[in-house]
């Protein structure tokens, strides 16, 4: 996303009554800084590390992340752990294959789901939001004997 795209986006959000508060800027900055998926707690720690004098309430971080997800700026993904992870959308998009046995994660090209997206739109008129989703199952190694033996 270019800078002018970003400005335009903020402007269009403002027009719809959304506000760009210091807290929201800090969360966005943290997400830009950490280039991988981040948990709410990692975002909080990143803000504290960069601005020790500022404190952002965890509730606000959660609410900001939900807002960013709702306006399609970040993805929210479960990787089989006890917390969600978040990532800025628009570059390095991919999906995840999560092994339920060894907890390993394989990142895959998002194009594999394009036919499904098209069919859902055609058949049901449904616009699927398929961004950074997880597909759970068993990886090649864990399939041997383990699907039953676990």
Contacted entry of a second copy, DNA, none for residue 58, CB cut-off 5 to 8 Å set by kind = DNA
- What is the nearest approach in angstroms of a second copy to the Cβ of residue 138? 5
**Residue in the block written with tokens 């800027």:** 25
Q: Minimum CB separation from DNA for residue 78, in Å?
A: 8
From the list a second copy, DNA, none, pick the one residue 57 interacts with, judged by a Cβ distance below 5 to 8 Å according to partner type.
DNA
Pairwise CA distance, residues 46 & 29, whole Å: 9
The two tokens of residue 4 are 């002018």
Told to check if 139 binds DNA by CB under 7 A, we report: no
CA atoms of 79 and 99, how far apart (whole Å): 9
140 interacts with, out of a second copy, DNA, none, CB within 5 to 8 A per kind: a second copy
Please enumerate in sequence order all residues whose Cβ is within 8 A of that of 83, keeping only pairs 6 or more positions apart, or say none: 39, 40, 41
- Please report how the helices 40-50 and 58-70 are oriented relative to each other, as an axis angle in degrees rounded to 10: 120
Torsion of CA 93, 132, 58, 7, to 10 degrees: 40
Interface residues toward a second copy, by CB under 8 A: 16, 70-71, 97, 99-100, 106, 108, 112-113, 115-116, 119-120, 123-130, 135-140, 143, 147-150
Q: Least separation, in Å, of the C-beta of 128 and DNA?
A: 20
Residues contributing to the site for DNA (CB under 7 A): 14-15, 17-24, 39-41, 55-60, 62-64, 66-67, 82-84
């Amino acid at each position: 996303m270019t800078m002018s795209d970003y400005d335009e986006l903020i402007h269009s959000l403002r027009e719809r009554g959304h506000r760009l508060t210091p807290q929201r800027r800090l969360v966005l900055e943290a997400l830009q800084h950490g280039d991988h998926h981040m948990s709410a707690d990692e975002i909080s720690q990143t803000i504290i590390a960069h601005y020790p004098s500022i404190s952002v309430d965890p509730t606000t971080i959660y609410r900001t992340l939900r807002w960013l997800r709702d306006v399609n700026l970040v993805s929210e993904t479960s990787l089989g752990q006890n917390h969600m992870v978040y990532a800025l959308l628009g570059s390095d998009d991919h999906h995840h294959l999560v092994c339920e046995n060894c907890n390993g994660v394989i990142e895959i090209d998002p194009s594999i789901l394009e036919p499904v997206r098209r069919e859902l739109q055609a058949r049901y008129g449904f616009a699927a939001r398929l961004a950074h989703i997880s597909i759970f199952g068993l990886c090649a190694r864990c399939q041997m004997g383990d699907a039953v033996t676990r």
